[in-house]
Each structure stands twice: as structure tokens, then as C-alpha cells.
């Protein structure tokens, strides 16, 4: 397992990314008491949230985070013990061979879902991505619906799409 120091250093370089800022802006407009971040092993999104029910789930162990319940599990097999007000899935779907099944479970896990993925990155531009390029049509094929809000966010030379789906 990577050390907390390594993970902190990695996310210190990423937390200024504009797509994180957009997700935080969206969350600041919403009223919710519970949130789960799926595939969040190193995400800084939970840092700014107040005293609410915060959960992070990843297939790999995560370092402890104050005030956050950590779950190490395969999301495909995991059974939630409740419905969450907000479900985050940031920069995960592009890594999956079965994103439609994963996305269906995101919607079953909570009321409001926020998804971000790389936007139109060329195939092969990241060796860890199996779904590039991703555009609105591909994302809709996974979610089965249009987002209620959609943002194309530029971070340097690359873009990401952030989509919000309300209950």
C-alpha cells in the first residue's frame, strides 16, 4: 500500500484541478446529509465537507481520513446498507470494462449522482483507460439518461466532463 505521505503528495498536485473545483461548487449548492465517493482512494473532495455522513469506497485500502468512513470493497459486489443523498464517481468509469453495470449501481446507491470522466481523450493517451475516447453519447449509453447538469472543464491541455443527475 502506498503511504499516506505519497497519496497526500499526489493529490496536492491534483487538488487544484478545475474539475475538482466544479464538483465542490456543485456540492456547495446542494443540501445533503450523506455522501459516498466511489473509487475515491486518493480524492481530496471530502476535505472541505462539514460534519455530515461521509463515506469513501475503493477496491484498494485507503489511509485513514478524519470523519470519513472507509470501505474497502469491490463496488460490483458491495451491498450498501442505506441510500446516500449524493454519490460521487470521479475519474473512474474510464478504467472499467463494464461501466454500464457500474453506473447502474451508482444510481441504485443514492439519490443524486455526480460523475466525471475524461472528455474526448484520444484512445491510447492514458494506458490505464480502457474506454477512451468518451463523449456525451458514450456516457449516455452507460447511464441511460441525459444529465440534469453538464460541464466541460479544461485542465491544461485536457478536458473532463462533469455530469450531475438528480433523483
Cell of 30: 446542494
Output the CA–CA distances (angstroms, integers) from residue 53 to 66, 77, 102, in the order listed: 12, 22, 23
Residue 162: what pLDDT? 98
User: 69-108, pLDDT tens digit by residue?
Assistant: 999 999 999 999 999 999 999 999 999 999 999 999 999 9
- CA proximity to 22, closest of 165, 157, 120, 149: 149
Domain 4-165 is of which CATH architecture? 3-Layer(aba) Sandwich (3.40)
Q: Which is it for the CA torsion 76, 106, 96, 72, positive or negative?
A: negative
CA distance 40 to 95: 13
User: 132-162, pLDDT tens digit by residue?
Assistant: 999 999 999 999 999 999 999 999 899 999 9
- CA proximity to 69, closest of 83, 58, 56: 56
Amino acid at each position: 500500500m502506498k503511504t499516506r505521505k505519497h497519496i497526500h503528495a499526489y493529490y496536492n498536485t491534483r487538488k487544484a484541478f478545475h474539475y475538482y473545483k466544479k464538483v465542490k461548487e456543485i456540492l456547495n449548492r446542494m443540501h445533503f446529509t450523506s455522501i459516498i465517493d466511489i473509487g475515491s482512494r486518493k480524492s481530496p473532495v471530502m476535505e472541505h465537507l462539514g460534519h455530515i455522513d461521509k463515506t469513501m469506497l475503493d477496491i484498494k485500502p485507503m489511509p485513514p481520513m478524519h470523519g470519513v468512513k472507509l470501505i474497502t470493497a469491490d463496488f460490483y459486489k458491495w451491498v450498501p446498507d442505506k441510500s446516500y443523498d449524493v454519490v460521487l464517481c470521479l475519474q473512474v468509469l474510464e478504467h472499467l470494462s463494464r461501466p454500464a453495470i457500474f453506473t447502474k449501481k451508482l444510481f441504485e446507491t443514492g439519490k443524486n449522482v455526480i460523475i466525471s470522466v475524461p472528455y474526448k481523450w484520444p484512445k491510447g493517451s492514458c494506458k490505464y483507460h480502457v474506454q477512451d475516447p468518451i463523449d456525451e453519447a458514450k456516457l449516455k449509453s452507460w447511464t441511460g439518461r441525459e444529465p440534469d447538469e453538464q460541464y466541460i472543464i479544461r485542465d491544461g491541455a485536457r478536458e473532463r466532463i462533469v455530469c450531475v443527475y438528480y433523483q
